[in-house]
Amino acid sequence: MQNKFLYFPNDEWPSAQMLAAEDLALWQATGSDYRGLIAADNAHMPNGTIVLFHGNGGTAFDRGFYLKPLRDLGFRVILAEYPKYGGRPGKVGEKPFVADGLETVRLAYKHYNEPLYLLGESLGCGVAASVTRQTTTPIAGIILITPWDTLALVAKSLFPFLPVTMLLTDKYDSIGNLQSFQRNIAVVGAERDEILPIKHAYNLYESLPEGKKRMWIIRGAGHNDWPFYVDGSLWREMTDFVKVDQ
């Protein structure tokens, strides 16, 4: 029941035609698997690498809109793909997603070195937070867009009369997972988020260590249309906040 509520995998493998149309390439492809997508030219980016964990619907291919604003600011972007999504083998769930994310982050650091940043979107915020807690790879900063505090609190707010916490096998406890993170965290909430009410983003923000956090509210935006409300100046503000000095 939890998985039907939480995961909506699209198993379409990105074809060569699809990739060419968006100037994308498979990243770390090995026969019948790959770890994500990256810009086809993969030029040197002076401000480092961002590993992006997307939300629970669609695929990494659907998140190509992140590339231009972040590349314009000097960041290489890896659109990480989850097991069971985008034609990849595996199973859905916090454990397989985080295990896969840990390996993706390790390989990104191995190939591109520092600085390495994480960006999470919706469910991907929970993945990014879990990866951050478990990885030995240095993470220079984190951007969390439309995040939640904990999966249990979201479930309680959606189903207040059901014992939902007893049914959850996944935790995605971003509050607990980010407590010891020593770098800056940008929290970005959508004012009219109809899927994850913005109170969850506020709760997460309030739980973070003082002095290493900043929050932005995208006015008028909902859970899925927020990219239409974000311009280059806001992307610059968010990335400047988490960016380490070169």
Cα–Cα distance list, 131 to 15, 74, 116, 183, 210 (Å): 29, 24, 13, 14, 21
Average pLDDT, the chain: 93
Residue in 219, 167, 209 with CA at minimum distance from that of residue 184: 209
**In the structure, what pLDDT confidence band is assigned to residue 19 with cuts at 50, 70 and 90?**
very high
The mean per-residue pLDDT over the stretch 23-28 comes to 97
Which of 3.40.50.300, 3.40.50.720, 3.30.930.10, 3.40.50.1820 would CATH assign to domain 2-241? 3.40.50.1820
Q: Which residues of 161-183 are buried (b: 16+ CB within 10 A; e: fewer)?
A: eeebeeebebebbbbebbeebee
For every residue of 192-236, DSSP letters joined together read T-SSS-THHHHHHHHHSPTTSEEEEEETT--TTTGGGG--HHHHH
Residue in 187, 166, 28 with CA at minimum distance from that of residue 110: 28
Higher pLDDT pick, 216 / 43: 216
pTM strictly above 0.85: yes
**In the structure, what pLDDT confidence band is assigned to residue 166 with cuts at 50, 70 and 90?**
low
pLDDT at 104 over 80: yes
